[in-house]
Chain A
């Protein structure tokens, strides 16, 4: 299997504070990697660096073997990276359909592009609210829309920043099922989570981040066999 994303020695600074201290991980095509860690561990920062939203101070980021560190976010998005931000960042004044339009990108030559119809089949609740504006949606609907909007660009790699945060269990279930379906289509996921239960169900590999350094990196199975790690570094 070839690596779809390779991060090597990533360092990120905000002003003088170093927030991510040279972490490395790789993600295989079709795999799901969960970045775990407490508040402020550096999960969001890592994802933002991959997306090009913060410039890495050092290190390489290679989706598909190409180094993208330093490219503007729009170019990175166009290489096939989708972005589901932490606080969803739905365009509040745009309707659901318009939000999806912003996410649209010319279909890469892949068998089955994500059309609006297919996205509405994935999230039927959104179909009913297609003409509603972003600020009229519930938290769960906003999260669905954030995922649908990113899928509309037909990404190969989807970055998800704490998708289950603050959502009721039935909504989390819907998201879980939808992401499972997207995965079945060959999508690769990089997920940041504090919710270990959600991450465990979805991911096959895990990294534990603490204060910007990796404390664990390996198959999810191994993490499940070492509950002391989870206890030490995660809020379980």
Chain B
């Protein structure tokens, strides 16, 4: 009985999550330029178009650049924030955590408006820098959370042990705390990267034509000329995400293995 429930709920939830994707993905190989079934033969042309014709490749590269920059800035900001928060008292921790996490809870439309206005006033609206900074602010809380989690998971006795062996605070931090929290930084960086990579709302507010990102290109593609290239791009993006997921999983596995044995 419970096995039946297990399988039914598993299949249903998989269908719910994956069905829309599975229904639409085969159309990337459809010879017809209309997004309709039944399919009319097999082709890889749409992939070729995605790789050769604008806006796809430039938008993809833009997205990579923005996501990479955003991830780096987010790791610095979120990581420092987490480390500082860890060092403050109980009450301070509550307040600081709330502040650093707040970008997640604020609706992105509101943030988009705020960024547009602020960056425009500061004189660098519409460029890479504004996108990178905005996405970094969206990604920093994710880095903050994952670094906090891994710092909190550290056995406080390790630091004490290092102290008893004569290590100064800075040396302890560099040789014990930081290496052990590294998986947290990596996870956070990946999350920040992925978040930036498929962020639409804020990018819509901030992107100029020359800094259009892939999600925006997809979005406008849907509106302007609905063709299977979009599906081809979506398919490749899904594969990329899957890869990220695997890397993430592997990172977590590894950190768990190392700190086993307790």
The reply to whether chain A is a binding partner of chain B is no
B residues within 8 Å of A by Cβ? none
A residues within 8 Å of B by Cβ? none
